[in-house]
């Protein structure tokens, strides 16, 4: 987000920097309780603090380590993921030495739908899912998340749910935390999250994983140790604890601001380019746009927007869907208004 983060995080960092001893740290066990309390308060989800791994790196690194652990445990089948989907999954799978297969999302009148049947009855080591969805900001139904957990469990694999946008759900929308939605299948599910997207701290890498299976949890700890990594970390746990303990009121204010920005963007696009938003957003600060509906070429739209209108959007090809664009509307309103004006400007003949 091009918006300032919460004062509580800045104050915690400034206070700790003044200590002037920045050596090795041990994991603060209070962090697990803070994660569990956050899920209970914000999502109504029951999370056992013992499930929590406090990671000094980002969620994508966590995915890589998890896939390496699955492969070492003999789960060497393909990794399945929907498409369009977060573009970091495919190269991470290849780097971990596992094949990657795409299952196309179904686009219906009210937006994208998870084709649950496309995951069932297939050999796999893992299902990777961004939930809420990146790039479309769709919130997947609880029943669909449970069905993916069933497909993974039936194949002896794991559902890995990347939920870094889950605290940014829009008013009136409920996010299903995967380990909670899975119920009795929770041991076949790993939920990944981070305060990075929610509190705009992605430059200070941290994450946490919810791993109900104690064997898998211990194997992940061992894999981390093999890379010289350990739970916690000085800035990681400092930022996470400050955000989770004190950031709730700030987040509530942010969500109101983002809702206003979303409405501004949707209104402008509906007036100028009906059909430009094929899947209405339900979370986060992302809009998934159809380039053709905006009068833009399916290929080269990003370059055209940058060179002719000074706009930087992300190419849908990065998510496996050429012909689409991803817009981030988490920026000051005056800049957003300027961006929307340029985006909806008629194409030059």
pLDDT of residue 270: 95
Cβ–Cβ < 8 Å for 272, 346: no
pLDDT of residue 77: 87
pLDDT of residue 348: 64
Tens place of pLDDT per residue across the chain (349 aa): 999 999 999 999 999 999 989 988 889 989 999 999 999 999 999 999 999 999 999 999 999 999 999 999 887 789 999 999 999 999 999 999 999 999 999 999 999 999 999 999 999 999 999 999 999 999 999 999 999 999 999 999 999 999 999 999 999 999 999 999 999 999 999 999 999 999 999 999 999 999 999 999 999 999 999 999 999 889 999 999 999 999 999 999 999 999 999 999 999 999 999 999 999 999 999 999 999 999 999 899 999 999 999 999 999 999 999 999 999 999 999 999 999 999 998 866 5
pLDDT of residue 133: 98
Sorted by where each starts, the structural domains of the chain and their CATH numbers stand as 7-247 (3.40.640.10), 249-343 (3.90.1150.10)
Judged on CB neighbours under 10 Å (0-12, 13-18, 19+), 25 is: middle
d(CA 348, CA 297): 12
């Amino acid at each position: 987000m091009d918006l300032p983060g919460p004062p509580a995080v800045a104050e915690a960092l400034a206070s700790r920097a003044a200590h002037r001893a920045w050596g090795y740290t041990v994991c603060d066990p209070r962090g697990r309780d803070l994660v569990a309390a956050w899920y209970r308060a914000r999502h109504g989800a029951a999370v056992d603090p013992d499930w929590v791994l406090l990671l000094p790196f980002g969620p994508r690194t966590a995915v890589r380590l998890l896939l390496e652990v699955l492969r070492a445990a003999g789960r060497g089948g393909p990794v399945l993921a929907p498409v369009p989907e977060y573009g970091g999954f495919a190269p991470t799978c290849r780097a971990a030495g596992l094949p990657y297969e795409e299952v196309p999302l179904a686009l219906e009148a009210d937006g994208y739908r998870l084709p649950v049947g496309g995951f069932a009855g297939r050999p796999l080591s893992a299902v990777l899912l961004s939930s809420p969805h990146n790039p479309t900001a769709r919130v997947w139904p609880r029943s669909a998340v449970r069905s993916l957990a069933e497909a993974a469990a039936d194949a002896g694999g794991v559902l890995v749910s990347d939920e870094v946008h889950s605290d940014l759900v829009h008013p009136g929308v409920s996010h299903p935390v995967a380990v909670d939605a899975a119920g009795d299948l929770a041991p076949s599910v790993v939920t990944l999250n981070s305060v990075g997207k929610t509190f705009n701290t992605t430059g200070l890498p941290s994450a946490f994983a919810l791993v109900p299976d104690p064997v898998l949890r211990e194997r992940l700890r061992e894999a981390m140790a093999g890379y010289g990594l350990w739970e916690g970390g000085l800035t990681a746990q400092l930022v996470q604890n400050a955000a989770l303990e004190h950031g709730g009121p700030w987040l509530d204010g942010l969500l109101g601001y983002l809702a206003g920005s979303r409405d501004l963007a949707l209104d402008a696009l509906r007036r100028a380019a009906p059909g430009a938003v094929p899947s209405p957003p339900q979370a986060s600060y992302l809009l998934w746009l159809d380039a053709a509906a905006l009068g833009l070429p399916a290929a080269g739209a990003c370059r055209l927007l940058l060179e002719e209108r000074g706009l930087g959007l992300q190419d849908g090809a990065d998510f496996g869907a050429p012909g689409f664009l991803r817009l981030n509307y988490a920026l000051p309103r005056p800049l957003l208004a300027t961006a929307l004006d340029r985006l909806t400007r008629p194409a030059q003949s």
